Structure 1
Amino acid sequence: MRARRLIAAALVLATSSGAAAIGEGAATCPALYLDGSPPALTNAKLSARTLPLCFDAYAVLHSGVSRTPLYAAEHLTRASVAAARRVDREDAFHDEDRGPSDERARVEDYIRSGYDRGHMAPAGDMPTAEAQAQSFSLANIVPQNRTFNRGLWSAIEESVRRLASQRGELYVITGPVFEGDSVEAIKGRVLVPTQIFKAVYDPKRGEAGAYLAPNRADGAWRAVSLKTLNAVAGLDAFPTLPDRVKATVMDLPEPREFSRGEPGEARRPEEGWQSWLKSELFRALRRALRDALRSIF
């Protein structure tokens, strides 16, 4: 317990020495940010030992204090979501070798921790196999409650993909919230978020809002404005937006579980029940194997 309090205190007492690095992140991958501007950390205590990192389809601001991302940024389009649905998931979690070694999470930190390795930029958003492999960098991962990660949070991720397909494009910022003076840390190293958010902006309609959910198994969530999110998370997700947009909550879709096919999509006539059953059994076996490996590692 003492170690948890010390780590949380380090986060609270951190200085703003990482501010220069935040600006550097905007220069390296501006296409992933609305108007080329990365989120602004309005709580300067969060910005110590930060490192901006770019990947093919997302960018993160990594914290050497929490050893997690503070946010992940994506630009989802109808085409990128369609491409991502054609990429089979291959779990390959790995250490991120950029940045100081003592400020990074390690694969062994999560072993028998009781927490899932939860993506901030989802593997299911990645439009190529290479981009998906990059999404398994621990720089993109936070400790997530297993029930929450595999249930409500998975549904929120899919709801946002569906919304991007319907609207044509969305800018998305996802990240953790660390609240209180006794934040848990797995292996005394990696801070466990108390809440997780996913902020979205529709540039065609000029609408924005955010999902905000506790990192626990009860399935609770709420839709909040970007202004409220800023007050909770200490982060201005889309700093170039006018205040009136930040103060209004867009109508976010209710999180639901979706299959890879479109809702109500008819099965092709040549796909008989035996073929369907074989496919479903194969998927169930793959899921059971993946969950068994996750529980071990």
Structure 2
Amino acid sequence: MFHIVYLLLFPLLSKGEVSLFGNCPQFFLNGIPPTILGNNNRYQQICQCLLDQNNQPQYFYASLYDTVNRIPVYSAYEFQNPPVTRVDKWYIEPQLDGVNIPCMALSTSVPAPQRGQHQALNRDYNHSGYDKGHLYPVFHTATQSAMLATSTLTNAAPQDSSFNGGQWRRHELSLANILRAHPNSYVVTGVVPGNQMIAAGRVMVARYYWSAYCYLDNNGTYQSSGYIGPDQNGRVQTRLLGDLEVALQGYYNVQTFTVFGGQC
């Protein structure tokens, strides 16, 4: 469950790409996002982007970010899978800390006194014993730019290293094997906060990672599945999408939670 919600003392950000998912509906099935948790001072909708050669935003996926726990709730993307070479170059979202840069950037783009006020920083993970676990994984990207765009701390949460490199990694590979044959497959990956924090209480450790996919098959029927882990044996469980949504409803303490807007 989430800890008690309290209001953050900073205004809603209405400019640039930390705004509304309406700016990047292409990453959601039929343009409908997963359930958006209440209190938008806490939960920020991010259209994740990098600036292209013409200094224009290039969009890659969407994330709902929890500025209290300093981890994402979920990231949503359209599955792609040509091989790319990973580069570990971590970004932050300047607008979360009040700097009007339209896309993700290096942490030095934010003045030191403001840096990390409402988001995690790379140094929070140092000596923590946890990996920076991608929600939108490098392995599901198609281009070098998309790969770089996944390496933002608004797309990562503290994840046990053995789970990250073990069962969850195998899940990502298995999911890729399922979806390669189905163009226009939509995926949402999220985390459920736990009750342990790193960096002197700054960043919440994920209790569970979850994901779900949906695509339209050749017969015009939606196909879907859900996953969540680790279970008590450290494994990833496969769930019917509806069963996963019921579980997430309880974990997030909301009346309903839909991953694909009830369409799949």
- Tell me if both proteins adopt one fold, taking TM over 0.5 as the criterion: yes
Give the whole-Å Cα distance in 1 for the aligned partners of 2:85 and 2:117: 33
Task: Map residues 34-73 of structure 1 onto 2, 5 A cutoff.
Answer: 34-41=29-36, 44=38, 49-55=42-48, 56-73=59-76
| Number of equivalences | 221
Is 1:197 equivalent to 2:210 in the alignment?
yes
Percent sequence identity is 27
Is 1:13 equivalent to 2:5 in the alignment?
yes
**Counterpart secondary structure, 2:95:** coil
Residues 201-240 of structure 1, C-alpha deviations (whole Å, 9 max, x = no match):
1222412221111288x43221122332223223311114
* Structure 1: stretches of 5+ with no match in the other structure: 1-7, 246-297
Question: Quick check: 2:75–2:135 contact (8 Å CA) kept in 1?
Answer: yes
Q: Which moved more, 1:23-32 or 1:144-153?
A: 23-32
For the structure 1 residues 121 and 130, does the alpha-carbon distance in structure 2 shift closer, same or farther, using more than 3 Å as the test? same
Give the match for residue 104 of structure 2. none
TM-score by length of 1: 0.67
RMSD of equivalent CA atoms: 2.8
Is 1:210 equivalent to 2:226 in the alignment?
yes
Give the AA of the match of 1:185. Answer: M
Give the match for residue 127 of structure 2. 112
Task: Map residues 82-161 of structure 1 onto 2, 5 A cutoff.
Answer: 82=82, 85=83, 87-100=84-97, 101-161=116-176
* Structure 2: stretches of 5+ with no match in the other structure: 49-58, 98-115, 250-256
Question: Quick check: 1:33–1:171 contact (8 Å CA) kept in 2?
Answer: yes
Task: Choose 1 or 2 for highest CA Rg.
Answer: 1
Give the AA of the match of 1:96. Answer: E
For the structure 1 residues 25 and 225, does the alpha-carbon distance in structure 2 shift closer, same or farther, using more than 3 Å as the test? farther
Q: C-alpha displacement at 1:44, in angstroms?
A: 4.1
Give the match for residue 197 of structure 2. 185
For the structure 1 residues 14 and 48, does the alpha-carbon distance in structure 2 shift closer, same or farther, using more than 3 Å as the test? farther
Q: C-alpha displacement at 1:20, in angstroms?
A: 11
Question: 2:186 is matched with which residue: 171, 175, 180?
Answer: 171
Residues 46-104 of structure 1, C-alpha deviations (whole Å, 9 max, x = no match):
x651111123321101110111111000111xxx312xx1x211111233322134111
**Counterpart secondary structure, 2:149:** helix
Is 1:29 equivalent to 2:32 in the alignment?
no
Which protein has the bigger strand share? 2
TM-score by length of 2: 0.75
Give the match for residue 51 of structure 2. none
